[in-house]
Amino acid sequence: MSSTSIEQPCYTLINLPQDAEQPTEMKLREDLEKGDNKVKAEALKKVIQLMLNGEKFPSLLMTIIRFVMPVADHTLKKLLLVFWEIVPKNTPDGKLMQEMILVCDAYRRDLQHPNEFIRGSTLRFLCKLKEPELLEPLMPSIKACLEYKHNYVRRNAVMAIFTIYKNFNFLMPDAPEIIANFLEREQDMSCKRNAFMMLIHADQERALNYLSSCIDQVNTFGDILQLVIVELIYKVCHANPSERARFIRCVYALLNSSSQAVRYEAAGTLITLSSAPSAVKAAASCYIDLIVKESDNNVKLIVLDKIIQLKEVPSHEKVLQELVMDILRVLSSPDIEVRKKTLNLGLDLVTTRSIGEMVLILKKELSKTNNANELEDMDKYRQLLVRTLHQMSIKFPDTAASIIPVVVEYLSDSNELAALDVLVFIREIIHKFVNLKDLILQKLLEIFSSIKSVKILRGTLWILGEYCENVEDIQNLITQVRQSLGDIPIVDDELKRAAGIENKEDEQILKSNTSTTTQQLVTADGTYASQSAFVSNTPNTTKDDSEKRPPLRSFLLKGEFFIASALARTLTKLAVKYSKLVDNNQVKQNRFNSEAMLIMASILHYGKSGMAKKAINEDDNDSINICLRVLSERSPFVVNLFNNQSQVALSTMLDAKLDETDLAWKTRHGKKKVQAQIQPDDPLRFGQLISNSDFIEKEDVFDLTLKQAIGVLNKKDEDFILSSKLNKVTQLTGFSDPVYAEAYVHVNQYDIVLDVLIVNQTTDTLQNLTLELATLGDLKLVEKPSALTLAPRDFTNIKANIKVASTENGIIFGNIVYDISGAASDRNCVVLNDIHIDIMDYIVPAQCTDQEFLQMWVIFEWENKVVVNTNIKDLNEYLEHVIKSTNMKCLTPEKALSGDCGFMAANLYAKSIFGEDVLANVSIEKSLQNPDSQVLGHIRIRAKSQGMALSMGDKINLTQKQIKN
């Protein structure tokens, strides 16, 4: 037998501070022999810490037995239990040390001690002993503890008997019978729970008989016992499906338990046991009730995921559709992630029967966001609600008419992102549903003057210019534009203001933006009324000068001339349509054209006058000049572009988005259909051999355990070998080294577990063999692996835990040091290869809108620019390689990347499990004249933290080199 096979198990981990002073063995002995209780306790703590970190103190064993063990102090007794747990109890040849006989006698006395704490602590300690020679003399005392008056002692006595029976059943062969009798007469719930749990694992038949005898009283049991009962029912029914009818009533009863944990477990077990609609409905209702009543957001998210898993089963989805209104009760939670998942789930489950009620609830939720205190979260929540209403309107067009008036009001909202979502919503609805066009135009014209954001106003102008197609709508829009611009020419009006001549019309416009209906300034014959539509009585002299202007004028004053180019294009479209509508009246055509050209020319003059905060730029200047030229020349080709092509482009874009959404849905849901098909080499399952065929549709336990063993449980559509553990083994030493080592790196979110295999390739016994590790980066070694002895040609596994704090490239390095038995030389050392932790284990693809991407791009301050250096000769192939190697998602639609024009630009996005965002912009090109030329360009990476940006850049550089090689 090799020495590693009798290596002592250790359950206690105590960290030794790096700056701790190392006491000598002589000093420790002196403190243990002559010190008072406090000094002895401190000395014993130091001995324990040093032994856990590889030190050996064989001579201190008798000192502790003689001078510390007889002391009655409770602190010392507790420390002694830790000491006996970690101290070697066997001689090198595997026999029990003689000193342990004295220790065993001390255990026996403690088991008979009148203090319940000492008895209970000793019983807990006995659960950790692996030496039957020490346990055998204690069995009568352990049994006697089952009769002790205090439940703490009885509870731990049951656990001690359970552990001893599991490890050494020959010491107490009648343990199940003793515990079954104990369970019958015991009243304390914690003791009953431990006894019942032992019977589940040791004698399941006795556990079932007990449960059958008290099945009607299950609701009166404590929650800890109820949890164990649920576990038993799950195991029994999986092993023997015919037992389900016997226990399913009990599971139903536990759905009404006072404990949230019991209800959660009972609901999960019920779904596993039965696929009946009544069972699914009861479990789902229980889940919903848990989410509503539970305050912890993490619990809410976990239970929501359970409901989402239920929805994936087609037969269960129909049941959940009836509960969609109950699911929407979860929106009362203030957490944005919970609300997001709830809205997505509700959108998937809503039907024609429930759509009306759901719209009413969401409109009510939208109105609540106006009076909320948490501004940031409410802005995001408003966005989510608008997007959900948008998707519902597309899915159920009949609801759009009731939704439009509510959401249009938010165009004037100060939250620009929510207003942008409303604008996108309105643009799609007005394009797809012609019957709603008049309603939308009316609402947009009503709110036009109160829009505060320049981006929203620009989008609103585009929609109005594109879809105002009759004389009345065009006249109403031009009226709104004139009111929003103020008096023209703009330069003359501003000079008058500067000279102190106040124009009171503008102030009245500002005052009545939200409360006064506008008067029509364009008469029926196309001329403009000479008198003002507004009269101001009380000018506000306290406002800033720029705030006194009408909305459009105030934007121009600040130098926002992009809105001016949008206005010019809108006026051009209106002029073209108006001319077509009044084709037989040349005078009206000319008056309208001249008015539109006057507005444009006035803006151009103002932009170049130097009176605005920023002068008009060349692009906006050219855009307005082109519009003037179109109105003056009336080229049929250009007029057609203004008249028709914008809507054609919008239609193409919406179709591309729809195709992309359909593709994503098929990708997400199509896999399940493929997996449900039976392949030619699949094993046959005979329903006649199992009582209920529904039951065998559940997860096969053997398949699950096999997948867990090779590490592919959560992997899909990947190569079997590449996704197994074998792909993550790193060789640490050479085959010719005296000690061979290799490590399997298992990344589990915030932890890394190194499972290191160490092989002694020599004929010598290696003593004090220690794996010494150190880390570079944001990694931290949790504990130092303890020293061990390795026999000739023997092998062992050492596990090391490492904590990860952020997404940065980390390196683990170290060496193996050991002594050779009988050699007088210094310690031997084998240096290990470095282990590079791949940040891709922490990066997951994520989705965001274009607006969110641009906002993050501006905010993130760390940028890493990577030059493309590869031998790939195809642009699309290179982009696919970057996406695959970085785990990022391409936000640019596939149709935008199709074609071959010699250059490509794409946006990529991903998130880490720590919540860090990383953005990338790929700009690459290739010469069309030379097909064999390589891809050139660069990739710009942006992140909030420097480490994230640098790590992602290093990853791209590394994968480029691998391909090049």
| Residue range 844-873, pLDDT digits in tens | 888 887 878 888 888 888 888 888 888 888
pLDDT in tens, 716-746: 444 444 445 666 788 888 888 889 999 888 7
Q: Which pLDDT belongs to residue 666?
A: 60
Q: Coil, helix or strand for 920?
A: strand
pLDDT confidence of residue 13: 57
- The CA distance from 759 to 742, in Å, is 9
What is the rounded CA–CA span in Å between residue 657 and residue 425?
13
Contacts of residue 641, Cβ cutoff 8 Å, sequence gap at least 6: none
For residue 306, pLDDT over 50 is answered with: yes
Task: Give domain 841-963's CATH superfamily.
Answer: TATA-Binding Protein (3.30.310.10)
Work out the pLDDT band at 54, boundaries 50, 70, 90: low
Picking from 452, 482, 450, 481, the residue whose alpha carbon sits closest to that of residue 464 is: 481
* pLDDT tens by residue, 884-930: 888 888 888 777 777 777 788 889 998 887 778 889 999 988 877 77
DSSP string, 433-478: -GGGHHHHHHHHHHHGGG---HHHHHHHHHHHHHH--SHHHHHHHH
Q: Which residues pair with 790 in a beta bridge?
A: 766
**174 DSSP 8-state letter:** T
Mean local confidence (pLDDT), 744-763: 82
Q: Does 820 score more than 50 pLDDT?
A: yes
Among 840, 922, 836, which residue's Cα sits nearest to residue 875? 922
For residue 26, what are the contacts with CB-CB under 8 A and spacing of at least 6?
none
pLDDT at 44 over 80: yes
User: 683 falls in which pLDDT band (50, 70, 90)?
Assistant: low
Look at residue 8 and tell me whether its pLDDT is greater than 70.
no
pLDDT value at position 962? 56
How does pLDDT run across 85-118, given as a tens digit for each residue?
888 777 777 777 777 888 888 888 888 888 888 8
Residue 68 predicted with pLDDT over 70: yes
What distances in angstroms separate CA 81 from CA 86, 110, 119, 292, one per listed residue?
A: 9, 11, 12, 45
Cβ-Cβ contacts under 8 Å for 265 (sequence gap 6 or more)? 227, 230, 231
Residue 451: how many other CB atoms lie within 10 Å: 24
SS3 label, residue 801 = strand
Average pLDDT over residues 392-410: 82
| Minimum mean pLDDT range among 199-208, 433-442, 773-782 | 773-782
The CATH number given to 729-837 is 2.60.40.1480
H/E element, 345: helix 336-349
Give the pLDDT score at 143: 87
Residue 537 has pLDDT above 80, yes or no: no
Q: Say yes or no to pLDDT of 539 above 50.
A: no
* Chain centre distance of CA 611: 51
Length of the chain: 965
Tokens of 609: 């006058």
Contact 202, 162 (CB under 8 A): yes
Cis peptide before 489 (omega within 30 of 0): yes
Handedness of CA 403, 406, 408, 410 (dihedral sign): negative
What pLDDT score does 704 carry?
A: 55
Say what the pLDDT of residue 273 is. 80
Amino acid at residue number 557: L
Please tell me the distance from the alpha carbon of residue 899 to that of residue 734, in angstroms, as a whole number: 50
* Structure confidence by residue, pLDDT tens digits, 150-196: 888 888 898 889 888 888 888 888 888 888 888 888 888 888 888 88
3-state secondary structure 665-721: HHHHHHHHHHHHCCCCCCCCCCHHHCCCCCHHHCCCHHHHHHHHHHCCCCCCCCCCC
**Cα separation of 378 and 665, whole Å?**
29
In this predicted model, what pLDDT tens digit does every residue of 206-242 receive, in sequence order?
888 888 787 777 777 877 888 888 888 887 877 777 7
Residue 676 neighbours by CB distance under 10 Å: 9
Backbone phi, psi, residue 907, to 5°:
-105, 135
Answer yes or no: is pLDDT of 28 > 70. yes
Lowest mean pLDDT, pick from 56-60, 389-393, 486-490, 533-537 = 533-537
User: Could you give the C-alpha distances from 803 to 252, 771, 807, 818, in angstroms and in order?
Assistant: 42, 18, 12, 27
**Rounded CA separation 445/447 (Å):** 6
The Cα–Cα gap between 418 and 375 comes to: 12
Interatomic CA distance for residues 243 and 273, integer angstroms = 10
**pLDDT of res. 740:** 92
What is the pLDDT averaged over residues 404-432?
79
Phi, psi at residue 923, to the nearest 5°?
-125, 105
Three-state helix/strand/coil letters over 45-110: HHHHHHHHCCCCCCCHHHHHHHHCCCCCCHHHHHHHHHHHHHCCCECCCCCECCHHHHHHHHHHHH
For residue 353, the one-letter residue type is R
Say whether 729 sits in a helix, a strand or coil.
Answer: strand
- Assess whether pLDDT exceeds 80 at residue 781: no
Q: Which whole number is the average pLDDT over 481-505?
A: 73
Mean pLDDT of 308-336: 84
How would you class 62 by CB atoms within 10 Å of its CB: exposed for 0-12, middle for 13-18, buried for 19 or more?
exposed
- In this model, does residue 488 exceed pLDDT 60? yes
Averaged pLDDT for residues 58-67:
82
Q: How confident is the model over 691-718, as pLDDT tens digits?
A: 443 443 445 444 555 555 544 455 444 4
In this prediction, residue 690 carries a pLDDT of 45
User: Which backbone phi and psi does 920 adopt, to 5 degrees?
Assistant: -145, 140
Looking at every residue in the chain, the average pLDDT score rounds to 77
Total H helices, total E strands in the chain: 40, 16
